[in-house]
Structure 1
Amino acid sequence: MKDIILKAENISKQYRLGQVGTGTLSHDLNRWWHQVRGKEDPYLKIGDTNDRSTKGTSDYVWALQDINFEVERGEVLGIIGKNGAGKSTLLKILSKVTAPTTGSIKCGGRIASLLEVGTGFNPELTGKENIFLNGAILGMTKKEIASKLDEIIEFSGCERYIDTPVKRYSSGMTVRLAFAVAAFLEPEILVIDEVLAVGDAEFQKKAIGKMQDISKQGGRTVLFVSHNMAAVKSLCTRGILIENGTAIFDGSIDETISKYLQGDIVNTKLIDNNNRIGCGLILFESVKVYGDAEDLKPITGGVLVLEFSIVNQHLIHSSDIFFDIRIDDDFGQRLVWASTRLKEMRNVDDPNKIVLQFDKNPFESGIYFATIFLQIKNDVADWIDNAFTFEVEEGSYFLPGKKITRGQSRLNVDFDIQFK
């Protein structure tokens, strides 16, 4: 039999858009009148899906819609998705910070939450006083908190400032202390929402190790939200992928991350990307990524071509244009920086395409993220961070039958950039 400690059934959350987050007085009266007559809330039938990049037609939006899942005791569940997908809203509902519009949460233990930097801390109280305050909120007795006090202070690394008001702490110090309180006061369920990104590398390593100890040795459950796929992959055993307020996948963490990364493979319409910086005198319009032929995917060791169409209505001469591309792996590690500042670009007077070609593709199989940049003399023209992703299939970089491994050093990686 499964030992289920947390169960979410048909969780939905509806918000009203605009300056006021709840319904108007007339809407509230209408809801009350329907409730008195034993009828369904009339506003549950309206509202747009949670897509932050589009303009809606309704005053209501479903931040979450029909979320169902179970979590076993001792399981580490990763919840991933894009910004605005509904991850934080779900954790706030699970932590009982806010109530769901529909659905119910069944929980078999105490929940400790780290949702935002400083949540649950009184800035006027000292670090030590906040430890006791948070412990009391979590249902701990003063004696229980005192028995863990030295461990909490040591883990947080804030001993020098423990008798100083928290309002004088940096955001990183606040997170250190908050995590130490939540982890060492032994809740049955620990909920972490991206706040570890505020801490430094040393603390993140300690925190992930502590969460692994909590789940493996303590048998406690962890719900972890992060955009750091390396941390998610190393910590979690199972994942849920949320997109536009709905859970579109629930499975092993490797499969979940793969689904998440494949969501935007080769977003060819770069011109529609609103997340860009620059004066706009020239713009990236679209991109094609292919291997030995336009209808073939790139493979390790084969040809890799990234072909960009650009909008150059002012007919700016190619000699005045600088092009950069940075390629990262799914852990966010920078692998390649190709730039016309490093290698002169073969060009013509009136370019409308930029082609980057690797004759011997240095990437192993997997998903890769590309950030692209155009500059006219000293002015940034178009800069799109994580503009698109592309996939490389398995191949042989060295001798036949010998595969390249992640992190293996690659020497003499050559590329060619040209205008067309």
Structure 2
Amino acid sequence: MSNIVIKAENISKQYRLGQVGTGTIAHDLNRFWHQIRGKEDPYLKIGEANDRSTKGSSDYVWSLQDINFEIEQGDAVGIIGRNGAGKSTLLKLLSRVTKPTTGKIYTQGRIASLLEVGTGFHPEMTGRENIYLNGAILGMTRKEITRKFDEIVDFSGVERYIDTPVKRYSSGMYVRLAFAVAAHLESEILIVDEVLAVGDAEFQKKCLGKMGDVSKGEGRTILFVSHQMGAISTLCKKCLLLEKGKVINYGKTNSIIEEYLSPSNGQLNNSNSYIAKNTLKSNKNVFFKSIDTFNSRNIITDSFGFNEHIKIKINLSVKNDIKNIILGIGIQDKFNVRVATFMNELSDLNINPISKDNWEVVVELPKEVIAPNSYSFIFALYIYNGEIFDIIENVCPIKIYDTGTIFSKYEGLDYGNIIVKADWKVN
């Protein structure tokens, strides 16, 4: 017997902008007339891809187009992509909230979905009543739900309010109970959109732990949409990357995340430089003009060995004589988590004035400290009272390669972002 629990075959979803259905009786009748004659829907030919950055000329938009994939029992699959990529639409199709325009979806087993805060809850009913309602919708008996009831309430942390109508819950309480219900009731497939953003850090960690238990311990299948790459990396072994309604890639999580996070923001040129736009028209007193990363051989590059220094050359425009300006540099990993911060006052630096309002600063980062991995930078010019003159984020991405560390034999394992040279003593 096949262990495929979800299979998508050429599924597509089309919407008409600003309308429910096709928007007019004429369009609906036209579709019906083509259907009874066994012909193709005439409006399937005229839609455009869902690109939010362009206005477009058609009222019809393909939120998803020709999606194909298979998911096996027990898989934890992350679904990632930029806003408008079609992630939430895909979850709605898999949850049977809406039907695909074309194609078919095959599922085996009961599906519990948490697509947004309050999914499946009746606002006038109490938390207790909603737990039983959700269980009944999944086909569970009252006895089965009662057996899970205390565990659900304990996990959610809303015991004090369990007999209060959920319309009076805060968004945090709502999502706590909704997740607890979806995760604990006996469904074979758990579908979770990024509702965890509502909860606090402790609850998010608790949810990820529970989803890991559900997948690895109970053999249930999980589909998880999130913009938090750390959460995706922690939970999911496989990842589906969507872009403008199409599947770009589907495979191992680490490689898919790297593909998703690869820079494409138009700020970088081929030499890995940041170049400010419209510098002549800028009304800022102090701002970054350009930034380059150099290796130990003074070559502009985005690739560095673990045993070489990283040099950063920064060109600043300083139009007025402003004292106490601080230059701050942050390093962040591929999940946008801050790894380290360096800062100094410009007045304390040996600045080379190229011209009256053009200064050059060179910063050299230590070697054999930042672990082999992918990183990017944040640069800021500010003063201690909180005033920010200029800030740029997610620029100058670099890759540090292992060039013969003691960890080389563990190549492929993630051993963090900082390697510390500790003093070892044996008593």
TM superposition score category, shorter chain reference: 0.7 to 0.9
Counterpart for residue 233 of structure 1 = 233
Counterpart for residue 418 of structure 1 = none
Counterpart for residue 309 of structure 2 = 303
Deviations 1:130-185 (A, max 9, x none): 11122222222222212211111111121122122223322222211111111111
Which runs of structure 2 are paired with 1:166-185 in the superposition (5 Å)? 166-185=166-185
Counterpart for residue 330 of structure 1 = 334
AA aligned to 1:329 is D
Do 2:5 and 2:107's aligned partners in 1 also have CA atoms closer than 8 Å? yes
Residue 279 and residue 363 in structure 1: after superposition, are their counterparts in 2 closer, same or farther (change >3 A)?
farther
Which runs of structure 2 are paired with 1:266-415 in the superposition (5 Å)? 267-268=267-268, 287-292=291-296, 293-295=299-301, 297-307=303-313, 315-316=319-320, 322-341=326-345, 344-345=348-349, 346=351, 348=353, 349-351=356-358, 356-358=363-365, 360=367, 362-375=369-382, 379-387=387-395, 389-395=397-403, 405-408=415-418, 410=420
Of 130-139 and 330-339, deviating more is 330-339
By how many angstroms is 1:286 displaced?
Answer: 5.8
Q: Distance in 2 between matches of 1:282 and 1:38?
A: 67
SS of aligned partner of 2:58: coil
By how many angstroms is 1:10 displaced?
Answer: 1.0
Do 1:113 and 1:182's aligned partners in 2 also have CA atoms closer than 8 Å? yes
By how many angstroms is 1:307 displaced?
Answer: 4.5
SS of aligned partner of 1:144: helix
By how many angstroms is 1:366 displaced?
Answer: 1.7
Counterpart for residue 147 of structure 1 = 147
Q: Give the structure with higher Rg (CA).
A: 2
AA aligned to 1:327 is I
AA aligned to 1:334 is R
AA aligned to 2:307 is G
Counterpart for residue 20 of structure 1 = 19
Counterpart for residue 125 of structure 2 = 125
Residue 50 and residue 299 in structure 1: after superposition, are their counterparts in 2 closer, same or farther (change >3 A)?
farther
Q: Distance in 2 between matches of 1:117 and 1:344?
A: 51
Residue 174 and residue 342 in structure 1: after superposition, are their counterparts in 2 closer, same or farther (change >3 A)?
farther
Of 394-403 and 30-39, deviating more is 394-403
SS of aligned partner of 2:206: helix
Deviations 1:298-319 (A, max 9, x none): 2223132344567x5x945575
What is the TM-score when the length of structure 1 is the normalising length?
Answer: 0.83
Deviations 1:64-97 (A, max 9, x none): 2111111111111111222322211111111111
AA aligned to 2:158 is C
Deviations 1:1-31 (A, max 9, x none): 64111101112122233x4365331544443
SS of aligned partner of 1:298: strand
Which runs of structure 2 are paired with 1:173-252 in the superposition (5 Å)? 173-252=173-252
Of 396-405 and 360-369, deviating more is 396-405
Do 1:109 and 1:189's aligned partners in 2 also have CA atoms closer than 8 Å? yes
Q: Distance in 1 between matches of 2:286 and 2:45?
A: 45
Do 2:370 and 2:418's aligned partners in 1 also have CA atoms closer than 8 Å? no
AA aligned to 2:378 is T
Deviations 1:240-299 (A, max 9, x none): 1112221111111222222222354994166799xxxx9867665665444231156222
Deviations 1:42-80 (A, max 9, x none): 332233323333443433332221111111111111112
Q: Distance in 1 between matches of 2:6 and 2:410?
A: 46
Are 2:43 and 1:43 equivalent residues in the alignment? yes
Do 1:307 and 1:356's aligned partners in 2 also have CA atoms closer than 8 Å? yes
Residue 371 and residue 90 in structure 1: after superposition, are their counterparts in 2 closer, same or farther (change >3 A)?
farther
Q: Distance in 2 between matches of 1:356 and 1:55?
A: 43
Do 1:265 and 1:389's aligned partners in 2 also have CA atoms closer than 8 Å? no
Which structure 1 segments of 5+ residues have no match? 413-420
SS of aligned partner of 1:163: coil
AA aligned to 1:190 is L
Of 242-251 and 134-143, deviating more is 134-143
Q: Distance in 2 between matches of 1:166 and 1:226?
A: 25
Which runs of structure 2 are paired with 1:96-115 in the superposition (5 Å)? 96-115=96-115
Which structure 2 segments of 5+ residues have no match? 423-427
What is the TM-score when the length of structure 2 is the normalising length?
Answer: 0.81
Q: Distance in 2 between matches of 1:401 and 1:142?
A: 55
Counterpart for residue 75 of structure 2 = 75
Do 2:306 and 2:400's aligned partners in 1 also have CA atoms closer than 8 Å? yes
SS of aligned partner of 1:24: coil
Are 2:142 and 1:136 equivalent residues in the alignment? no
By how many angstroms is 1:105 displaced?
Answer: 0.8
SS of aligned partner of 1:83: coil
AA aligned to 1:20 is Q
CA-atom RMSD in angstroms: 3.5
Residue 398 and residue 74 in structure 1: after superposition, are their counterparts in 2 closer, same or farther (change >3 A)?
closer
Q: Distance in 2 between matches of 1:181 and 1:400?
A: 45
SS of aligned partner of 1:52: coil
Q: Distance in 1 between matches of 2:90 and 2:410?
A: 45
AA aligned to 1:100 is P
Q: Distance in 2 between matches of 1:331 and 1:295?
A: 22
Do 2:268 and 2:395's aligned partners in 1 also have CA atoms closer than 8 Å? no
| Percent of matched pairs sharing the same residue | 50
SS of aligned partner of 2:14: strand
Do 1:113 and 1:191's aligned partners in 2 also have CA atoms closer than 8 Å? yes
SS of aligned partner of 1:176: helix
Residue 378 and residue 157 in structure 1: after superposition, are their counterparts in 2 closer, same or farther (change >3 A)?
closer
Aligned length: 405
Residue 302 and residue 93 in structure 1: after superposition, are their counterparts in 2 closer, same or farther (change >3 A)?
same
AA aligned to 2:332 is D
By how many angstroms is 1:219 displaced?
Answer: 1.8
Deviations 1:83-141 (A, max 9, x none): 32221111111111122222111011111111111222223322111111222222222
AA aligned to 2:367 is K
